[in-house]
Amino acid sequence: MHEPGGMENSNLKDVYARLIQINQETFDGAQYDIAYHALSGALHCAATLKDVNYLVEVERLADKELAWINAHNPEYEHSTRSSQERGLRSIYTNLVTMANAKVVILQNEAKTG
Protein backbone atom coordinates (compact mmCIF):
# COMPACT_ATOMS: atom_id res chain seq x y z
CA MET A 1 0.00 0.00 0.00
CA HIS A 2 1.33 3.42 -0.91
CA GLU A 3 1.44 6.38 1.41
CA PRO A 4 -0.99 9.20 0.53
CA GLY A 5 0.80 11.76 -1.59
CA GLY A 6 3.78 9.42 -1.84
CA MET A 7 4.28 9.77 -5.61
CA GLU A 8 7.42 11.64 -6.57
CA ASN A 9 6.86 15.07 -8.12
CA SER A 10 8.73 14.06 -11.29
CA ASN A 11 6.36 11.10 -11.71
CA LEU A 12 3.37 13.34 -11.07
CA LYS A 13 4.61 15.76 -13.74
CA ASP A 14 4.76 12.82 -16.16
CA VAL A 15 1.21 11.84 -15.24
CA TYR A 16 0.11 15.44 -15.76
CA ALA A 17 1.70 15.50 -19.23
CA ARG A 18 0.07 12.17 -20.16
CA LEU A 19 -3.34 13.39 -18.97
CA ILE A 20 -3.01 16.57 -21.04
CA GLN A 21 -2.10 14.40 -24.05
CA ILE A 22 -5.11 12.15 -23.41
CA ASN A 23 -7.28 15.24 -23.08
CA GLN A 24 -6.11 16.54 -26.43
CA GLU A 25 -6.47 13.20 -28.22
CA THR A 26 -9.95 12.49 -26.86
CA PHE A 27 -11.14 16.05 -27.41
CA ASP A 28 -9.93 15.91 -31.01
CA GLY A 29 -11.89 12.66 -31.35
CA ALA A 30 -15.06 14.36 -29.99
CA GLN A 31 -14.96 12.25 -26.81
CA TYR A 32 -15.73 15.28 -24.65
CA ASP A 33 -16.59 13.43 -21.44
CA ILE A 34 -13.31 11.51 -21.51
CA ALA A 35 -11.43 14.70 -22.41
CA TYR A 36 -13.04 16.49 -19.47
CA HIS A 37 -12.06 13.76 -17.02
CA ALA A 38 -8.48 13.67 -18.28
CA LEU A 39 -8.31 17.44 -17.84
CA SER A 40 -9.83 17.13 -14.38
CA GLY A 41 -7.15 14.59 -13.49
CA ALA A 42 -4.52 17.01 -14.78
CA LEU A 43 -6.01 19.69 -12.51
CA HIS A 44 -5.56 17.44 -9.49
CA CYS A 45 -1.95 16.69 -10.49
CA ALA A 46 -1.28 20.43 -10.85
CA ALA A 47 -2.89 21.15 -7.47
CA THR A 48 -0.83 18.43 -5.75
CA LEU A 49 2.31 19.81 -7.37
CA LYS A 50 1.22 23.35 -6.39
CA ASP A 51 2.15 24.41 -9.92
CA VAL A 52 0.43 27.64 -10.92
CA ASN A 53 1.55 27.34 -14.56
CA TYR A 54 -0.05 23.90 -14.87
CA LEU A 55 -3.23 25.17 -13.21
CA VAL A 56 -3.40 28.11 -15.61
CA GLU A 57 -2.91 25.71 -18.52
CA VAL A 58 -5.82 23.54 -17.31
CA GLU A 59 -7.98 26.65 -16.92
CA ARG A 60 -7.08 27.85 -20.43
CA LEU A 61 -7.72 24.45 -22.01
CA ALA A 62 -11.07 23.99 -20.26
CA ASP A 63 -12.18 27.46 -21.35
CA LYS A 64 -10.96 26.89 -24.92
CA GLU A 65 -12.60 23.48 -25.19
CA LEU A 66 -15.92 24.76 -23.86
CA ALA A 67 -15.85 27.65 -26.34
CA TRP A 68 -15.26 25.16 -29.16
CA ILE A 69 -18.07 22.91 -27.94
CA ASN A 70 -20.44 25.87 -27.64
CA ALA A 71 -19.64 26.97 -31.20
CA HIS A 72 -19.55 23.57 -32.90
CA ASN A 73 -21.54 21.12 -30.79
CA PRO A 74 -24.04 23.10 -28.66
CA GLU A 75 -26.31 20.05 -28.34
CA TYR A 76 -23.62 18.22 -26.29
CA GLU A 77 -25.08 17.67 -22.82
CA HIS A 78 -22.36 19.70 -21.07
CA SER A 79 -22.31 22.67 -23.44
CA THR A 80 -23.19 25.97 -21.80
CA ARG A 81 -26.62 26.00 -23.47
CA SER A 82 -27.51 22.40 -22.65
CA SER A 83 -26.35 22.81 -19.07
CA GLN A 84 -28.30 26.04 -18.61
CA GLU A 85 -31.44 24.39 -19.98
CA ARG A 86 -31.17 21.97 -17.05
CA GLY A 87 -30.45 24.78 -14.58
CA LEU A 88 -26.79 23.81 -14.25
CA ARG A 89 -23.34 25.10 -15.10
CA SER A 90 -21.25 23.21 -17.60
CA ILE A 91 -18.75 20.81 -16.07
CA TYR A 92 -16.16 22.62 -18.19
CA THR A 93 -17.15 25.93 -16.56
CA ASN A 94 -16.80 24.27 -13.17
CA LEU A 95 -13.33 23.05 -14.14
CA VAL A 96 -12.30 26.61 -15.11
CA THR A 97 -13.59 27.83 -11.74
CA MET A 98 -11.78 25.09 -9.81
CA ALA A 99 -8.47 25.75 -11.58
CA ASN A 100 -8.79 29.48 -10.94
CA ALA A 101 -9.64 28.89 -7.28
CA LYS A 102 -6.57 26.66 -6.84
CA VAL A 103 -4.38 29.42 -8.32
CA VAL A 104 -5.85 31.97 -5.89
CA ILE A 105 -5.31 29.61 -2.95
CA LEU A 106 -1.67 29.02 -3.92
CA GLN A 107 -1.08 32.76 -4.37
CA ASN A 108 -2.60 33.47 -0.96
CA GLU A 109 -0.50 30.74 0.64
CA ALA A 110 2.62 32.26 -0.93
CA LYS A 111 1.76 35.66 0.57
CA THR A 112 1.11 34.31 4.06
CA GLY A 113 3.59 31.43 4.08
Higher pLDDT: 75 or 113? It is 75
* Confidence check: pLDDT of 5 > 80: no
Find the mean pLDDT for residues 57-68: 98
* Confidence check: pLDDT of 4 > 60: no
Q: How far apart are the first and last CA of the chain?
A: 32
pLDDT of residue 47: 97
CA atoms lying within 13 Å on the CB side of residue 112:
6
